Amino acid sequence: MAALLSVNDLCVKYKTFEGIVHAVNGISFDIPERGTLGLVGESGAGKTTTALSLMRLIPAPPGIVERGKISFGGRDIHALSEAEMKKIRGNQISMIFQDPMTSLNPVLTVGLQISEAIVAHQNTSEREALKRTQEMLEKVQIPSARHKEYPHEFSGGMRQRVGIAMALACNPRLIIADEPTTALDVTIQAQVIELMRNLRQEFSTAMMLITHDLGVVGEVCDRVAVMYAGEIVEEGSLEQIFEDARHPYTTGLFKCIPDIEEDSSQIQPIMGLMPDPFDLPSGCCFHPRCPSCMEVCRVERPAFLRENGRTVQCHLYAKGGVTQ
């Protein structure tokens, strides 16, 4: 079965006064219908750039999509006209943003904001759109009568649920959620995660969840892609990544998190800093911080090794794997 979304060798760079930032450096991944991919990485890894390029929203200038193919539902995103793209944005692909405080317009009622999106995309009357809006609010556990209220009258968690309602309003095929729970408190985060899981099944939507929190990925996703310095260094099923991570960066990330369930926890930080985006390291971009760096890592960019439905980009596994 063809994937809903398929990204192949995507490269995005930003041209600035200080130099060229290679934000995304040849990444490839697929999201099947109803699949959930977690895109994990630290700040500056290129997660948000990836999300924006799927929507064709990379600001240009300074952004340039250098190469790569993105196909969504069998159509090449880059070949579409702007008018066709507008039909996809918000309708077939929609986004949930990190900050529920700023992603809603403070001077419009939430009901109006949701129904606006519906009217814009779905050829419905305003009355029908309002009805649908109230349904959506109920779905995210907000009393439908509150559609007349303004964003500031909602708490942070409720605002994020409004954001989810808005994203789901047009029954999209893919939702891109950019750090949807980062700004929320733990107990509220749990509510929102629970809600997203239920709604995803109900609406049978595919989702790409962008986050830095491996815990959240574990709760929601069935596949995980780990990004570092603009590359996907490892990709696999949740089990493969969580139980049997291969790439030293992935294993390093897990060792950085104190285990809340053990009596005594150990943490082992990854040494060094994120690479300078203007001046990425030669060879494997993780080599300056890698505990098992070899001679070849400094010189040669590792190939993608695919095996059992997982991909890892690391010289350590060069022999066992099947080179692309």
Residues that bind other proteins (CB under 8 A): 42-43, 155-158, 185-191, 193-194, 212-219, 238-239, 242-243, 252-261, 263-271, 273-274
Closer to other proteins by Cβ: residue 20 or 120: 20
Q: Residues near 130 by Cβ (< 8 Å), separated by ≥ 6?
A: 111, 115, 147
Q: Residues near 13 by Cβ (< 8 Å), separated by ≥ 6?
A: 20, 21, 22, 23, 24, 63, 64, 66
Coil/strand/helix, residue 290: coil
Q: Residue 83 Cβ, how far from other proteins at the closest point, in Å?
A: 39
Closer to other proteins by Cβ: residue 208 or 221: 221
| CA distances for 259 relative to 70, 215, 245, 264, angstroms | 38, 11, 17, 8
Write out the H or E segment, with its range, that includes residue 38.
strand 36-40
Q: Residue 261 Cβ, how far from other proteins at the closest point, in Å?
A: 6
Q: Residue 171 Cβ, how far from other proteins at the closest point, in Å?
A: 26
Closer to other proteins by Cβ: residue 204 or 265: 265
Q: Residue 227 Cβ, how far from other proteins at the closest point, in Å?
A: 12
Identify the CA nearest to 163 among candidates 173, 148, 178: 178
Closer to other proteins by Cβ: residue 186 or 322: 186
Write out the H or E segment, with its range, that includes residue 176.
strand 174-178
- Give the span between the Cα atoms of 153 and 283, in whole angstroms: 52
Q: Residue 219 Cβ, how far from other proteins at the closest point, in Å?
A: 5
Identify the CA nearest to 136 among candidates 118, 155, 156: 118
Identify the bridge partners of residue 223 per DSSP, sorted by sequence position.
37, 237
Q: Residue 102 Cβ, how far from other proteins at the closest point, in Å?
A: 17
Closer to other proteins by Cβ: residue 78 or 255: 255
Q: Residue 56 Cβ, how far from other proteins at the closest point, in Å?
A: 28
Q: Residues near 275 by Cβ (< 8 Å), separated by ≥ 6?
A: 229, 281, 285, 288
Closer to other proteins by Cβ: residue 128 or 213: 213
Angle of helix 156-168 relative to helix 186-203, nearest 10 degrees, comes to: 10
Closer to other proteins by Cβ: residue 89 or 255: 255
